[in-house]
């Protein structure tokens, strides 16, 4: 099996929005919509801290389609427009999409939207037009902070590739399993992962 995914080192992300902007440009995402949102988490008080600077913590969280193992969106699609491919990505066949938005309502991460002009649902494709050619998704290749990494989750995160061909296992500071997080799992099995070492994970909130 193959499960393409992205791992983000949240300790390296500076919230520059390069990934969000690059995604919109290369995928022609309409104004007002995003395939890759960058959320600010915090500032929050550190554990046992005063709650005032410098006893606060803040990080940026990138949220997009998680290309789930058992996606809820594909279960409710009446035309099978939303489907899971052999590479593990979840895609939308626009020729089959009738714009019913059942998938929009079923997605636990609120990352799908109806393209009002085309009357079809859209979301992150993990830049299938690029990955099919052996390239990286645009959000990974444009990450100036070396925070985003792409690869096959079924083969382990250590081999994920960075913007210039670096390998995650050789490049990032060490981390343990307790410091690897995922967005809330409602039985769908999100494939994207986030590394956060010294701050409290707020992704379940």
CATH of the domain at 146: 3.30.70.20
In a domain, 101, yes or no: no
Query: Would you say residue 120 has pLDDT above 80?
Result: yes
pTM of the model: 0.94
Q: What is the pLDDT of residue 47?
A: 83
DSSP 56-85: EEEEEEEEE----SS-HHHHH-TTS-EEE-
Confidence label for 205 from pLDDT (cuts 50, 70 and 90): low
φ, ψ of residue 130 to 5 degrees: the values are: -95, -45
Task: Tell me whether residue 171 is in a domain.
Answer: yes
When divided into structural domains, the chain yields a total of: 1
Mean pLDDT taken over the chain: 94
Does residue 74 fall inside a structural domain? no
Residue 51 maps to a domain: yes
Q: Which helix (H) or strand (E) holds 44?
A: strand 36-45
* 83 occurs within a structural domain: no
pLDDT of residue 50: 79
- Whether 143 has a pLDDT exceeding 70, the answer reads yes
Asked whether residue 64 is domain-assigned, the answer is yes
Residue 109 falls inside a structural domain = no
11 occurs within a structural domain: yes
In tens, the pLDDT along 5-50 reads 999 999 999 999 999 999 999 999 999 999 999 999 999 998 877 7
Quote the domain boundaries for residue 43.
4-68+126-195
Burial class of residue 35 in the structure, from the number of CB atoms within 10 Å of its CB (0-12 exposed, 13-18 middle, 19+ buried): buried
Q: Name which of 2, 29, 7, 6 is nearest 126 in CA terms.
A: 6
């Amino acid at each position: 099996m193959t499960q393409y995914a992205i791992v983000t080192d949240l300790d390296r992300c500076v919230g520059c929005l390069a990934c969000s902007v690059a995604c919109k440009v290369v995928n022609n995402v309409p104004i007002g919509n995003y395939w890759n949102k960058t959320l600010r988490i915090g500032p929050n008080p550190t554990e046992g801290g005063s709650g005032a600077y410098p006893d606060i913590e803040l990080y940026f969280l990138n949220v997009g389609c998680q290309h789930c193992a058992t996606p809820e969106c594909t279960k409710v699609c009446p035309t099978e427009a939303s489907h899971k491919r052999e590479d593990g990505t979840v895609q939308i066949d626009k020729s089959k999409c009738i714009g019913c938005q059942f998938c929009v309502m079923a997605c636990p991460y609120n990352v799908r939207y109806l393209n009002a002009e085309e009357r079809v649902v859209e979301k992150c494709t993990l830049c299938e037009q690029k990955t099919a050619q052996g390239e990286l998704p645009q959000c990974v290749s444009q990450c100036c902070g070396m925070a985003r990494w792409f690869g096959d989750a079924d083969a382990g995160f250590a081999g994920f590739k960075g913007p210039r061909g670096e390998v995650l296992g050789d490049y990032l500071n060490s981390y343990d399993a307790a410091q690897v997080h995922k967005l809330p799992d409602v039985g769908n099995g999100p494939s994207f992962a986030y590394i956060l070492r010294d701050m409290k994970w707020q992704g379940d909130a």
